[in-house]
Amino acid sequence: MQKFITKSPEETESLAEQIAKTLEGTEMIAMFGDLGAGKTAFTRGLARGLGVDDGVSSPTFALVHEYSGKYPVYHFDMYRVTSWDDLYTTGFFDYMDNGVMVIEWSENIVDFLPENRINITIKHLSENEREITVEGAKEI
Partner 1 sequence: MKILAIDTSASPVSAALLSDGKLLGEFYLNIKTTHSQTLMPIVSALLSSSGTDIKDIDVFAVNAGPGSFTGVRIGVASVKGMAMPLDKPCAQVSTLEAMAYSMPYSDGIVCSVMDARCNQVYNALFRLNGGKTERLTEDRALSIDELADELSQYSETVYLTGDGAELCSNKFTDCLPNVILTPVNIRFQHAYGTAVAAEKMAAENRLCTSAQLMPVYLRLPQAERELKARLAKNNNKKGEEK
Stretch that binds partner 1, among 27-35, 47-55, 110-118, 131-139 (CB under 8 A): 110-118
- Identify which of residues 42 and 71 has a Cβ nearer to partner 1 in the complex: 71
Stretch that binds partner 1, among 15-23, 38-46, 50-58, 90-98 (CB under 8 A): 90-98
Verify binding: residue 98, partner 1, rule CB under 8 A.
Answer: yes
Q: How many CB atoms lie within 10 A of CB 36?
A: 10
- Identify which of residues 54 and 84 has a Cβ nearer to partner 1 in the complex: 84
Identify the three-state secondary structure at position 100. Answer: strand
- The single residue among 25, 60, 88, 138 that binds partner 1, judged by CB under 8 A, is 88
- Identify which of residues 53 and 115 has a Cβ nearer to partner 1 in the complex: 115
Question: What distance in Å separates the CA atoms of residue 17 and residue 42, rounded to the nearest whole number?
Answer: 8
Does residue 27 contact residue 117 with C-beta atoms inside 8 Å? yes
Question: What distance in Å separates the CA atoms of residue 12 and residue 3, rounded to the nearest whole number?
Answer: 12
Tell me whether strands 130-135 and 64-68 are parallel, antiparallel or unpaired: unpaired
Verify binding: residue 89, partner 1, rule CB under 8 A.
Answer: yes
- The single residue among 8, 51, 93, 138 that binds partner 1, judged by CB under 8 A, is 93
Q: Is 4 exposed, middle or buried (0-12, 13-18, 19+ CB in 10 A)?
A: middle
Interface ranges with partner 1 (CB under 8 A): 83-85, 88-89, 91, 93-94, 96, 98, 111-112, 114
